[in-house]
Amino acid sequence: MAESHSISICVCTYNRADFLRDCLQSILQLENLRSETVELIVVDNNSTDETEALVKEIANVSPIAVRYIFEATQGLSVARNRGADESSGRYIAYVDDDCVLATDWLRVAFTIIKVADPVIAGGPYFGRFTNEPRPSWFKLEYGNAYFVGQYEEAGYYSNFRASGGNMLIRRDVFDLVRFSTRFGVSGNKLILGEERHLQDQYLARTGREGVFYSPDLRVEHTIHLQKMSLAYCARRNFAIGRTHAVMGIFSKVNVRLLAFFPALLAFVAMSPILSLVRPRAQYPNWRNFYYETVLPYPARGFGLAVGLAERFGR
């Protein structure tokens, strides 16, 4: 599609009308929101709830064009590719349907484009609680991006990859690469890595060294109740390890996790005793100790092992 906007904000969604409302309303409240420069695209990835009606409701009060796209083929990568195909912006801004954008998000995005003109850019996301009851031990920072605090200044970083929930991609990127349907959440299946894969593939093909990061391009990411559990912590870290192995990401951390996997299992076996003598200022509840220390690395190591078997067992 020919370019007619500066930024196309693309929100892909699946059966989250309740969270989507907060996301879309935050977009309508952005500073510098003008129909001449910005459009909003909502890709409904085969939802069965009130998503379509909600988008039409938002469109009726929106100062910018809002387009509703129904994509019947399940999969986040499919939906994101469809959003790119349907958009008219020079940049496609991907925002998760359970994110709330800071009011200055758009102004910051325009500044990034003007100053750096990056092919890919991203910023941090921070955890956000809803008003629903939640476990008292679960910390808000558990919902933060893993890279929060790692990069203090805006600029290009070779080891940074933008999160798919807060990411700007220049249109010409899609002339070379697309979101791979091998990766990405599909319905209720937790499969990760589609945004990392796209960025790695683009950087490898073009010889570019890094992705642009701005600490000011901020969003809040809603923490769902089902994610506030030790089981989900283990499941997600397993998915991270498996995805890294399948994609061939063998960082120093991943190599060490594989090398010391038996020791990690022994640590898990000893964890009930260790939790009794844990530093309670750091881990007020025994679940904090398991969430932060016991579960992540063994689960990720197990995922790496499974992913390697899949990678080399074909």
DSSP 143: G
Q: Contact, 74 vs 187, CB < 8 A?
A: yes
**Coil vs helix vs strand at 286:** helix
Structure tokens at 187: 């319905």
CA distances from 128 to 55, 72, 101, 262 (A): 22, 30, 11, 36
Alpha helices by DSSP H, listed for 29-156, are 51-61, 76-86, 105-116
* Calpha distance 169→44 (Å, rounded): 20
Residue pLDDT tens, the chain, 314 long: 555 579 999 999 999 999 999 999 999 999 999 999 999 999 999 999 999 999 999 999 999 999 999 999 999 999 999 999 999 999 999 999 999 999 999 999 999 999 999 999 999 999 999 999 999 999 999 999 999 999 989 999 999 999 999 999 999 999 999 999 999 888 777 788 999 999 999 999 999 989 999 999 999 999 999 999 999 999 999 999 999 999 988 889 999 999 999 999 999 999 999 999 999 999 999 999 999 999 999 999 999 999 999 888 75
Q: For the packed helices 76-86 and 194-206, what is the interaxial angle rounded to 10 degrees?
A: 60
* pTM for the structure as a whole: 0.92
Structure tokens at 280: 């309670």
